[in-house]
Amino acid sequence: MRLDGAIGRVRLVGAGPGAADLLTVRAVRAIEGAQALLYDALIADEVLALAPVACLKVQTGKRAGQASMAQSTINRLMLRLARRGLDVVRLKGGDPSIFGRVGEEREFLRANGVEVEVVPGVTAACAAAAQFGFPLTHRGEARRVLISTATLAGGTLADAGWAGAADPQTTLALYMGRDQVRGIADQLIRHGRPAATPAVAVENAGRPDAHGIASTLGELATALDAARPTGPVVLLIGDVAARADIAAVADAVVPCRRAQA
């Protein structure tokens, strides 16, 4: 806590896809120095354990389809804690700038005179590709990556923007689309993406319990219905998905522990 009465700062930190050893060094340092930690529901216990014992920890929810703290409440809480002179970390899954509402939070805090720093993190699409052994771009197969969400506020399926996603040279990474897969496939096929396009759904990307489901665009909904995933799912659609090694074991995903003096 700042003793001179100065307002504290807020760091909007990306926790990556889950495993603590995928945190950036800057993110680890921010968590270790936090006096107040506001964290999303999916943040792993091993990541939370990096915070000081005396750190005030508040779970803010923010899990799709479940009750969570309102964004306006989170904003006011960050401001209140910063005005108490605390160093505040707002810890978000993945990267804060990708569907993390970082723009809203940063604008609110800066408008109220609070210093804000954004710390990037590994996003789920990158973690999924690395864990299951396929590239997001590949010479002759994918020249670009399109990261998108298929749903609008309230969980309804978007009705525009599908033409660009149908480009065969694009790897499409869809977030928050687990419950809309059938509609997603219908839209993409309608706009020219072949039903036989390889597709992979990855549940809990980057975690030891990650689960990959290989299919095609036309059959992905049926495959997901059979698998019945309950965790966060990222959908990767494009020719590169055929290279996925679904049997890959994430041996490199190990708990992150503090160095012993």
Q: Which residues are catalytic?
A: 40, 62, 176
The span from the CA of 90 to the CA of 98, in Å, is 15
CB 237 within 8 A of CB 134: no
- From the list 83, 108, 76, the residue with the least C-alpha distance to 2 is 83
What does the DSSP assignment read for 78-128?
HHHHHHTT--EEEEESB-TTTTS-HHHHHHHHHHTT-EEEEE----HHHHH
The secondary structure of the chain in percent helix, strand, coil, rounded to multiples of 5, reads: 30, 25, 45
Helix and strand totals (H; E) in the chain = 8, 10
Q: For the chain, where are the E strands, in sequence order?
A: 9-14, 36-40, 56-61, 88-92, 115-119, 144-149, 170-175, 198-203, 211-216, 233-237
